[in-house]
Amino acid sequence: MKKKILIADDDRTFTLALAARLRANDYEVISAPDGLRATQLALQTHPDLIILDVWMPIGIGLSVAERLAEHGLHTPIIFLTGCKAPKLRKAAGTVGAAGFIEKPYDPEVLLHTVECALSRQATAC
């Protein structure tokens, strides 16, 4: 059975490219253009992993992660961001991030992080 990954990012071109890469690696992919829709889809579909942009309209990534945890959904989350602020990485860690990757990203690093997070060994990666 394919693992389901939710991509939440407001950049449609980026989302389409990332989805194609993940599908080529045999993952099922769903996507959301903003934080609100990401929260709704996550609660409805229970993905195996969420790749979450930090800065999106209608709910930033950190808030989405907090909301999902409040609803009892403890899906691993990999944060993907163009922001280079060191405090952001720390903030992602406080909400239990399984990974934190800066854009532009290295596709191999992202795929490795996805595999680690899905195997629940993210802290060892």
pLDDT, one tens digit per residue, over 68-88 is 999 999 899 999 987 777 787
Please report the pLDDT score of residue 125 as a whole number. 58
Spans of all domains in the chain: 4-56+64-101
Q: What is the pLDDT of residues 52-66, one digit of tens each?
A: 998 887 877 788 999
Tell whether the model's pLDDT for residue 123 goes beyond 60: no
Q: What is the mean pLDDT of residues 108-119?
A: 94
Q: Do the beta carbons of residue 93 and residue 62 sit within 8 Å?
A: no
Helix, strand or coil for residue 119?
coil
From its phi and psi, is residue 11 left (phi > 0), alpha (psi between -120 and 50) or beta? beta
Q: Where does 4-56+64-101 sit in CATH, by number?
A: 3.40.50.2300
- Beta strand ranges found along 38-109 (DSSP E): 49-53, 77-81, 99-102
Tell whether the model's pLDDT for residue 50 goes beyond 90: yes
Q: What is the DSSP string of 16-42?
A: HHHHHHHHHTT-EEEEESSHHHHHHHH
Arithmetic mean of pLDDT over the chain: 89
**For residue 7, how far is the Cα from the chain centroid?**
6
- Side chain identity, residue 9: D
Task: Return the number of other C-beta atoms located less than 10 Å from residue 121's C-beta.
Answer: 11
Q: What is the pLDDT of residues 6-46, one digit of tens each?
A: 999 999 999 999 999 999 999 999 999 999 999 999 999 99
Q: pTM to 2 decimals?
A: 0.90
Rounded to a whole number of angstroms, the distance between the first and last alpha carbons of the chain is: 24
Largest CA distance in the chain: 38
